[in-house]
Structure 1
Amino acid sequence: MTEGLIFDTLRQALWIAVMISSPLLSVALIAGVTVGLFQALTSVQEMTLTFVPKVGAMLIVFWVSMSFMTSTLLSFFTDRIIPLIAGG
């Protein structure tokens, strides 16, 4: 196993981590900005108001994108990691 192969596998794993986490992080960002704007406009400063909508939106997006995440990770492991372990 060469150094270039290790770096290439690590680069690919980090890119897959970014692809998998981007739907959840973008929804959390949008929900946070929306709730923050709502709080600024109405002067309501309740901590649960920021937490509950973000968690709810993230759970919905996680449930919707779970098949994408699973198939992406499964293809990475079957195409890249398992052949490296097997010595191919």
Structure 2
Amino acid sequence: MGETVFYDTLRQGLWVAVLISTPILVVALVSGLVVGLFQALTSIQEMTLTFVPKLAAIAGVFWITMGFMTETLVAYWRGVLVPLIAGG
């Protein structure tokens, strides 16, 4: 395997990782900002108040986007990695 093929495969793999992680990271960011704003406005400084809503939001988005994540990974494996492993 040449350097060009290696780096192109690595670049595509990193792009797939970015695509898959984006929905979860965006929801974690937004829910963290909303909870932080709520805590700042009400002066409630409870540790579980930051953890539980963010965890619930992340679990919900993961459940909703699980099909997209699976399809993206399968397409990457079938389109890029399997041909390389098979000798193409």
> TM-score range, shorter-chain basis?
over 0.9
Write the letter of the residue equivalent to 2:65. S
CA distance in 2, matches of 1:72, 1:36: 33
* Structure-2 residue corresponding to 1:84: 84
How many residue pairs match? The answer is 88
**Once superposed, what is the RMSD of the aligned Cα atoms?**
0.3
CA distance in 1, matches of 2:57, 2:17: 20
Partner of 1:39 in structure 2? 39
1:3 paired residue number: 3
Aligned to 1:20: 20
Q: Which residue of 2 aligns with 1:62?
A: 62
Equivalent position SS for 2:45? coil
- Indicate the percent of aligned positions where both proteins have the same amino acid: 61
**Alpha-carbon shift at residue 49 of structure 1 (Å):** 0.1
Unpaired segments of 5 or more residues in structure 1? none
SS in 2 for 1:25: helix
Q: After TM superposition, what 4+ stretches of structure 1 lie above 6 angstroms from structure 2?
A: none
Task: Give TM-score, length-normalised by structure 1.
Answer: 0.99
